[in-house]
């Protein structure tokens, strides 16, 4: 039974251990470099502008949807270059380099 429960409990416990020593602001700041890069990669492709740059506009720590779920960081990133601008919502799983950029909208 322990072998069945351990794989389910270990990831959330590890995340709590790592995140438990940091404030929300520190957690969000530690993930923002990856989030900015993911948004810039998508923005550079969509804008057809390799020199586009990104700026964090806002950030939020999302609580798990289900018990034992993963905490996520959500960023709104503005990408600008070649006379064009777009915004992206980037969601990153805490403690991982997994991020997803969605909902690119011109502003």
Among 20-29, 63-72, 76-85, 91-100, top mean pLDDT goes to 76-85
The domains of the chain are located at 2-106
Give residue 42's region: left, alpha or beta (phi > 0; psi -120 to 50): alpha
Are the C-beta atoms of 77 and 57 separated by less than 8 Å?
yes
Q: What is the pTM of this model?
A: 0.70
Q: Which residue has the higher pLDDT, 18 or 65?
A: 65
34 contacts 26 by C-beta, under 8 angstroms: no
Q: What mean pLDDT do residues 87-100 have? A: 87
Residue 71 near residue 62 (C-beta atoms within 8 A): yes
Which of 13-17, 22-26, 60-64, 94-98 comes out lowest in average pLDDT? 13-17
pLDDT value of residue 6: 47
Tell me the per-residue pLDDT of 35-88, one tens digit each, with 9 for 90 and over.
999 999 999 999 999 999 999 999 998 888 777 778 888 999 999 999 999 999
C-alpha 10/C-alpha 83 separation (Å) is 47
């Amino acid at each position: 039974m322990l072998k069945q429960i351990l794989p389910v409990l270990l990831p959330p416990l590890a995340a709590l251990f790592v995140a438990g020593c940091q404030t929300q602001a520190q957690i969000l700041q530690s993930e923002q470099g990856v989030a900015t890069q993911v948004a810039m990669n998508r923005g550079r492709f969509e804008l057809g502008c390799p020199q586009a740059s990104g700026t964090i506009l806002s950030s939020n720590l999302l609580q798990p949807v289900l018990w034992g779920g993963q905490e996520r960081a959500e960023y709104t990133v503005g990408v600008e270059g070649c006379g064009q601008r777009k915004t992206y919502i980037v969601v990153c799983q805490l403690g991982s380099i997994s991020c997803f950029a969605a909902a690119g909208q011109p502003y």
